Structure 1
Amino acid sequence: MNLNELVNRNKEYTKHGNVANYIPELSKANPNCLGVAVAKCGESVIAAGDSNIKFTIQSISKPLILIMALLDYGEEIVFSKVGKEPTGDSFNSIRRLETINEFTKPYNPMINAGAIAISSLIKGKSNNEKIERILNFIRKLSNNNDIKINMDVYLSEKRTGNKNRAMAYFLKDIGILEGDVEEILDLYFMHCSIEADIIDLANIARVLACAGKDPLTNEVIIPRRIVQIVNTLMTTCGMYDESGEFAVNVGLPSKSGVGGGIMTVVPGKMGIAVYAPALDKKGNSVAGVKLLEDISNEYNLSIY
């Protein structure tokens, strides 16, 4: 089957799940959308379905700011603030921060608490400088200089992000966060509200698939060791508490976001991105996951 046929076959799954509504602006998404983009190493991007719809990347920003923190500070400092283990809990859970006495840091960078800790490590004299650095990095990876923040979603997240606020103040209390908590949260809300489409995300995933190299110039944008770390953490933690099942059924490093996107890496071959905003109870795109299962099986892409 080609991509169009696979999209059509999985369109029925857009009727399952619900768009995110805990961030009010996200509830405006059309739940019937489904699209996929594939960016092979050394080839042009191909797409099918609803490929040009802009949406906020939400938690798909987490591996990207992790890359920046690793570039800025190195592994020792970054992983003194956050762990490398899956939690088995939901992405916005605060429970394990309080109940594991000897583990006084978030379990991994792909959950909200971990990403807030990583946000505190982004270099810059001000939040304006930090978010501009993040935007420029994502623009380079996506080969799209028009990447920007959706201000309506950002303000909506800022108004309603009380659980994230609670996590951040807890992290401050146990010494993980340094600096002003509200500024760190503001940066977190901003990078979650960055807007893109699946072609942009497929381009980003392709850099991770091609060992950190820009496929157009062959420039090394991300060192191979950092690519290895990020791809591994996306495999073990990138689909929240559904990561194990996803690894069995799809078998590829991936990161989902509650905006409905999933960014997937096929090491050495291609980047894939899907969009379908109706989510399951774990916060992952229902039709997007099903479509990725079909693509992985159809083209024998699983890394296992």
Structure 2
Amino acid sequence: MLMKSFLEGVINRNKYMCELGKVADYIPGLSTANKNHLGICIIDTSGEIVIAGDADVKFTLQSISKPLTLMLALLDQGEKYVFSKVGMEPSGDAFNSIRKLETGRMRKPFNPMINAGAIEVCSMIKGKSSAEKFERVLNFIKLISGNNNLKVNEDIYKGEKETGNKNRSMAYFLKGEGLISGDVEDVLDVYFKQCSIEVTAIDLAKIGLFLARGGVLENGDRVVSEHIATIAKTLMMTCGMYDGSGEFAIKVGIPSKSGVGGGILSVIPGKMGIGVFGPSLDLKGNSIGGIAVLEEIAENFKFSIFN
């Protein structure tokens, strides 16, 4: 396991990067984040935990929720059905782009890690109402994070609903294509709420450890099959860092999923889970300091899965 003093050094050496980006401001509430926050938590399969920097600061999951709801949808509906409605390929476009929904050859979202794909995945979660569906999502994330106190940041959720017109247009397009069943606004409500769940880098590291163990909790209970966990990790590797996923794969090489709240969930299969937080973002919506921290750690310890 990495020593705390080393991780603190990594945080200090890369903190200047935070000044080079800016916090997200298109959703009310996100703009109040401190752009100089930067923290990391690493937990290995023995349960040893190392924390440095601002790892205990709360932020919202945003797009990090996408591989998590994907696993739940796969449990609910099965792989064949899920991927009949959403693809597995990188889009090459921004996470909130609508362009290829109409012009792409597939006529369905390219993958579950972009907004359109994640909204489609939300429509597959089982439940009699949007409230029941979201309760299942929240309980699933509580389970795999080991944190029963997780809850929605109501201010962020309201901001998501107020400013989510582009997501709304994607959802109605998907409905028009016959890909979404049920009420569009109900599906969007689940999506906006899942993005607004508050976590810390410590919670992300625990979720990463769950994936590193192939879908098994710390107590040994299996929640998802190893195959479902592999699907999530693979899509994180190929599509998890928005349209910067290829560059990230070369420079870092760790299955990861970012969110515009500043978090990055990372997994070193069979070894450890990593949670990073740094709300200052690059032009693609990824934590600029967080990527720098992961790049240094991966380079020093040869953590890339391609080594």
Superposition TM-score tier, normalisation by shorter sequence: over 0.9
Match of 1:35 in 2: 39
Shift of 1:90: 0.2
**Alignment TM-score, normalising by the size of structure 2:** 0.97
1:137-182 deviation line (CA, Å, top 9, x unaligned)? 1111111110010000000010000100110010011111111011
Q: Does 1:20 align with 2:24?
A: yes
**Aligned partners of 1:178 and 1:192: how far apart in 2?**
21
Q: Does 1:50 align with 2:54?
A: yes
Secondary structure of the corresponding residue to residue 2 of structure 1 = helix
**Aligned partners of 1:45 and 1:124: how far apart in 2?**
36
**Aligned partners of 1:177 and 1:49: how far apart in 2?**
42
**Aligned partners of 1:119 and 1:46: how far apart in 2?**
34
1:109-136 deviation line (CA, Å, top 9, x unaligned)? 0000000000000111111111111111
**Aligned partners of 2:265 and 2:35: how far apart in 1?**
18
Tell me how many residue pairs correspond in the alignment: 302
**Alignment TM-score, normalising by the size of structure 1:** 0.98
**Aligned partners of 1:189 and 1:228: how far apart in 2?**
26
Shift of 1:44: 2.7
Q: Does 1:170 align with 2:173?
A: yes
Runs of at least 4 residues off by over 2 Å = none
Match of 1:180 in 2: 183
Match of 1:232 in 2: 234
Match of 2:213 in 1: 210
**Aligned partners of 1:36 and 1:295: how far apart in 2?**
11
From 130, 135, 141, the equivalent of 1:132 is 135
**Aligned partners of 1:42 and 1:145: how far apart in 2?**
22
Letter in 2 for 1:232: T
Secondary structure of the corresponding residue to residue 262 of structure 1 = strand
Match of 1:95 in 2: 99
Letter in 2 for 1:294: E
**Aligned partners of 2:274 and 2:228: how far apart in 1?**
19
Within a 5 Å distance, the mapping from 1:238-277 to structure 2 comes to: 238-277=240-279
**Aligned partners of 2:190 and 2:147: how far apart in 1?**
21
Letter in 2 for 1:135: L
Q: Which moved more, 1:258-267 or 1:119-128?
A: 119-128
**Aligned partners of 2:182 and 2:217: how far apart in 1?**
34
Q: Does 1:69 align with 2:73?
A: yes
**Aligned partners of 1:113 and 1:212: how far apart in 2?**
25
Q: Does 1:119 align with 2:122?
A: yes
Match of 2:284 in 1: 282
1:62-114 deviation line (CA, Å, top 9, x unaligned)? 000000000011101100110000010000000000112x4111000000000
**Aligned partners of 2:18 and 2:71: how far apart in 1?**
32
**Aligned partners of 1:98 and 1:165: how far apart in 2?**
15
Letter in 2 for 1:181: V
% identity of equivalent residues: 57
Secondary structure of the corresponding residue to residue 293 of structure 2 = helix
Letter in 2 for 1:64: L
Secondary structure of the corresponding residue to residue 22 of structure 2 = coil
**Aligned partners of 2:86 and 2:46: how far apart in 1?**
35
**Aligned partners of 1:177 and 1:257: how far apart in 2?**
24
Q: Does 1:194 align with 2:197?
A: yes
Secondary structure of the corresponding residue to residue 152 of structure 1 = helix
